[in-house]
Amino acid sequence: MKILIRIVISAVALWVAQAVVDGIDLTAGSTGERALTLLAVGAIFGVVNAVLKPVIKVLGCAFYILTLGLFALLVNAALLMLTSWIAEKLDLPFHVDWFWPAFWGAIIIGVVSWLLNLFVGGDRVGDDAPDR
């Protein structure tokens, strides 16, 4: 259930980013197609972040420290561009034009995801325990 919630949160964040940032395009036709595309791209974005981000953090630890964490903005933009590339290879109508839309889009996605996770709840100890 948590995975589905995270995919929906990513999809909503991607939707906000494509609505706000010129250069992030979603060209699906109907509302249903747009929603399914955003869910698919949200899943791709989640997998890309889950697989590559920890590796990049370990390998680029010095850059994170030297730039006081600003390197994370570049990494997030690059991961969004990679997500766009994978989506294009899978014939999904989602495209990020170049670096700057990816940069601003990654910031918006991060903020929206953070805000939505505040309402949904985070990874606290005991979250998997049944309600009493």
* Tens-digit pLDDT profile for residues 48-92: 989 998 898 888 888 888 888 888 889 999 999 999 999 999 998
Intra-chain end-to-end CA distance of the chain, in Å: 19
- Joined together, the tokens standing for residue 117 give 């996770």
Claim: this prediction has a pTM higher than 0.85: no
Answer yes or no: is 10 within a domain. yes
- Joined together, the tokens standing for residue 37 give 């595309």
**Domain tally, the chain:** 1
Q: How far apart are CA 87 and CA 95, in angstroms?
A: 8
Answer yes or no: is 127 within a domain. no
Q: What is the pLDDT of residue 42?
A: 92
Answer yes or no: is 130 within a domain. no
Bridge partners of residue 87, in order along the sequence: none
Q: Which percentage of the chain shows pLDDT scores above 70?
A: 92
Answer yes or no: is 27 within a domain. no
Answer yes or no: is 21 within a domain. no
Q: Helix, strand, coil proportions of the chain in percent (round to 5)? A: 70, 5, 25
Bridge partners of residue 26, in order along the sequence: 94
Is pLDDT of 124 > 70?
no
Answer yes or no: is 63 within a domain. yes
Q: How far apart are CA 97 and CA 80, in angstroms?
A: 11
Mean pLDDT over the full length of the chain? 86
Answer yes or no: is 129 within a domain. no
Question: Which structural domain, as residue segments, surrounds residue 89?
Answer: 2-16+32-120
CB–CB of 100/23 below 8 Å? yes
